[in-house]
Chain A
Amino acid sequence: MSASLAETGAAAPRWQDLARLAAERRSAEVESVVVRQLLTFVLDASPYAVPVERVREIVRVRPITPVPRVPSDMCGVISLRGEILEVIDLRLRLRLRAAPRGRASRIIVVHSVGGVAGVLVDGVSEVLAVPEDALRPAAATEAGNVETLCVRGDRFISLIDLDRVLGFDAQR
């Protein structure tokens, strides 16, 4: 009994030291670099992203009821646990080529300044934690839908300006 106690007694400080070191290292990292968490997805084979905090949920494509006399980039409405949400085809909204929905297609339910809406994308990729300094302002395009570009290796990911793309206040 005394032997085992001695062993734990000897081992304990080492474990504690390790844990403390790990914690210090982690908090130091957080302090020095502001990390943005982004949900990345695919549109027309290119990577795009929205801030994770704007995403409420990701759902599979379900029956979408078309709504008459609305712009063509609105697919229609879906029912999500009793809520009726509009679904915007992000390809069409960003003036990309139209394409049929595939197996990988998803509806990302996002918060925007004006409320909640669903956006249809070709497929959801991953959640990325990128340091703030990896973000580059996007070159001004005529659409102005891309807020910043995020560098990942030698690839750019377009971070979408949701408020602008969904244009709640512009249209309501």
Chain B
Amino acid sequence: MILFELRQAVRRVMIDGSAWSAIAIATLTIGLAVGTAIVVIADAILLRSHPYARNERLVAVWATAADRGLDRFELNYPDLKALEGEGKPLARVAAYAAANSRAIFWTDGRPLDFHVNIVSAPLYPMLGARPAAGRLFEQEDALPESEQSALLSHSAWVRHFGGDPSVIGTGLQVGDETVRIIGVLPQTLDFPQGAEIVTLLERSNPALLESRQRVLAGVGLVAPGLTLDEAHVSVSVIAAQLAKQQDETTGLELEPLSEHLMGRLAPVLRMMLAMGLLVSLISWLNVGGLFLTQVVAREKEFAMRMALGATPWRASLTLTAEALILAAIAAPLGLALAEILLAFLLRLAPGDLPSMGDVALQAPALLFLFTNIAVGVVLAAIPASLRLSRIAVSSVISDSGARMSESGQTKRATAVVTALQVTLACLLALVAGLFQFRFLELQRVDPGFDRAGVITAHIPFPYSMRPEPGRVREFFASALAEIRRVPGVVAAGSSLMRPMELQQGWDYSFVVEGQTREVQRRNPFANWLVVTPGYHEALGTRLLAGRAFQDSDRHDSPAVAIVGESFARRYWGSPGNAIGRRIKEVDGDSERRWQTVVGVVSDLRQRGITVQMLDVYQPYTQTNWSPNYLAIRIAPGSDTGRVMSDVRGILTSMRPDAVLVGESTTAALLDRELAQPRFNAAIAIVFAAAALLISLSGVYSALSYWVSRRSNEFGIRLSMGATPPDLLRLILRETMVIALPGILLTAGIALFSLRLRWVNVSEGAWSPVLAAAILIVPAACMVAAVLPALRVLRMTPSHAIREGVE
């Protein structure tokens, strides 16, 4: 009998109901496409990107000092080891460098530019990794007498060695040392994230095992028998003891590793997932509304079916079968549209999104599609089935006392279903507006450097390979002098890190001269950077007071510092007042001398466009750290390619291994930084547009139904002297009845959300975004009302009374 119904449904959908079924198919196609596309993206990023992190006992370990402006930052190895062992919260721990560095590895005279990380030996066994080729690190590799060994990431293995297993055993030259490739990490293991080659912490930088220097991130395995909360409490207790011993205010935090790896992406993706599902829901609500009008239009047919023995439930199977056929037609169309959507969204996706390369319509997408259809069909059939149960079966008998049931209830039900769609569309428009506003806000943020005419690049002298800082400093001093002579170069400088390269940086704990110990302990961490003379000029960071660093700021001259504008205003009221004041680093490996502030520059968004910290700059001659990045300002109209070619020539003539990598304009750095919010805004706008389109078709269907049901009434009104504008006013009122609940509810939710601040935009954003969201939807509803209104305008009284308007 199912086949009987399906056969009838095919005919009904394909032949008899061409107009409404076309609307339903279009609606479902959009809903299924949007839902499927976001599920595919979420599956790739949330579910498939870190399969090894699914062990719920795996945690990330970070240091925290929320009261000093840092929620999470790097820790040192001794603190991490203090959490491990019997009776401790973590059964095992492992460490890795919190940020990748960059190094040139040479093989057969060929330079390989790798992102490098160092990990402690227990890391990969703890993650349960299996090598794709060769083997992973073993305890013996960590012994001092062992040869330096390295693991390649799967992507680096494929990219640089074509996935050739014979690469195992190959020696790579880095500086004066040779590291031997012993294995390849599995394809699914991108950890530490973005690292292309991994060496052992115990061999590459054994000093870190004892140092209190905070440059590491930790991973731990929660001890058996402990919950994450219990482990967290235990970690807090140990961290408090450590802080007391070390006279610090820092704590330690645990976070499920999977959550940690997703970072700021997870909540956004979850919101996107919810939005995608909402669009699907709206499409099914739309189909539900169409079915509702169908039940009324086909009331006699359903009454007949029930007279012949169908129960209301059985009669609703007829609609369910039709919904299934509609979905069966819409599903392949939806998949095709999802492919197009994915291609569009992937073009906007930030390059560092995990596993975006794996995005494709696979089994989870199809599973979602079928589940979506199964749930949606039931959902769409519910209002119509409820309506069916109220059909007066006796209406099949002519002149019986019972009449076809009044359309008032159905009209109200249709209005409710349509208003629900409009409400959801309003909400999605609001969210999309907020994301877009957020993106525009970020675009307007002053990053503290010029967006045009500046090229940055990395010269990898990795600290993990222990270069001699003195030699590197000398190299940069000579190189910069040569580079500044290149025609077209306006300014050149160098720094430890270029802006927006990493979310991490060097956290500077300081004391301002005159501060008590207690006050000093409440100072936030500052962002500390080592720079050469000319760096700020090259970058376009404005000098607000005092002077820039000069060649006269030497190792043996008085210690000096430049601070950012916010730093100066916070502690001395204005940039001018800061000149001549003194600050001092209170921990770390610096020389801990008083540094006199000689200059104030504009704030720099060093760690990301959204991160505003206090900045402290130190001349490269007065620290043990050496610069790594070049910043070159090129004169307008100069041939950038020729200038950079000259720069590369100068560098390699001085040192053959001084290869420039990661060349990028500041505009490109900013663009990369804005890729994520741009991606968020694009997805949200696609979703909102889809929701709007679907809800508009819902409004159109509801109004068309309403107009056709009342055509007789319109005819009577016209014959009694009503003018077309009078009827238009009726349509306008009906449209607003549908749109108003959505507007009010959206406004309410928006105001409630404003209090909760669940979207990180400035308060000023809410008013225009809310106004746009609640104006655009009713305006669109008016557009949807145009066709039904035109029908009414074309009515003549006799035609309307006799024929009705279809």
Our verdict on whether A and B bind, yes or no, reads: no
* Chain A residues in the interface with B (C-beta under 8 A): none
